[in-house]
């Protein structure tokens, strides 16, 4: 078993299958676009183990607590790792996390978006360590996100040959 996958197993974490969009929804893009040694990762949201959107849904600071938002960001990391495992194929090929853009479905007046997106960053740093896992990051509030998800995150990684 690969190093990152071993760490996931030790933590009791399972990567979800490919996202299953709601009926009638067409998503005309790829989840991971690799060009050379870089992979750009499309926006991902929290997924349950069956590939569906994971709840709870809604705005952080209204329907969801900060802790629920943090948990959603952690599930979003697993969703993104599932896509990265499918393409380029091995999580151990990720040599560095480069950039993360975290979006939080925020209630008016909610200003703790960085604490929510820490759910993502903390897991990546735990798995890859402080050097390879270090990433530039933005964490912003949005009025709405697709399907009512509380968090959407996109990013970029460097892939080893």
Any idea which residue has 């005309």 for tokens? 28
More confident residue, 2 or 143: 143
Range of the domain at 70: 3-16+29-159
132: CATH: 3.30.1330.40
Decide if 21 is inside a domain.
no
Number of C-beta neighbours around residue 54 at 10 A: 21
Decide if 105 is inside a domain.
yes
Which tens digit of pLDDT belongs to each residue from 47-56? 999 999 999 9
CA atoms within 13 A on the CB side of 61: 16
pLDDT score, position 155: 98
What is the separation, in whole angstroms, between the first and last Cα of the chain? 19
pTM: 0.96
Residue 88 pLDDT greater than 80, yes or no: no
Decide if 23 is inside a domain.
no
Decide if 24 is inside a domain.
no
Count of domains observed in the chain: 1
Q: For the chain, what is the mean pLDDT?
A: 95
Decide if 22 is inside a domain.
no
* Beta partners for residue 44, in sequence order: 153
CA distances from 94 to 71, 90, 103, 134, 147 (A): 23, 8, 23, 12, 30
Q: State the average pLDDT over residues 129-133.
A: 96
CA distances from 21 to 38, 44, 50, 81, 96 (A): 26, 12, 12, 18, 29
């Amino acid at each position: 078993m690969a190093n990152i996958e071993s760490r996931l197993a030790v933590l009791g974490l399972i990567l979800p299958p490919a996202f299953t969009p709601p009926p009638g929804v067409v998503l005309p893009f790829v989840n991971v676009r690799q060009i050379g040694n870089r992979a750009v990762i499309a926006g991902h949201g929290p997924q349950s183990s069956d590939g569906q959107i994971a709840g709870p849904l809604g705005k952080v600071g209204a329907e969801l607590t900060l802790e629920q938002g943090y948990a959603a960001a952690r599930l979003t990391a697993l969703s993104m790792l599932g896509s990265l495992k499918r393409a380029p194929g091995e999580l151990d090929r990720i040599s560095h996390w480069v950039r993360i853009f975290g979006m939080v479905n925020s209630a008016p007046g909610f200003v703790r978006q960085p604490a929510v997106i820490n759910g993502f960053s903390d897991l990546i740093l735990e798995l890859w360590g402080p050097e390879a896992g270090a990433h530039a990051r933005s964490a912003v509030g949005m009025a709405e996100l697709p399907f009512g998800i509380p968090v959407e995150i996109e990013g970029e990684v460097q892939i080893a040959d």
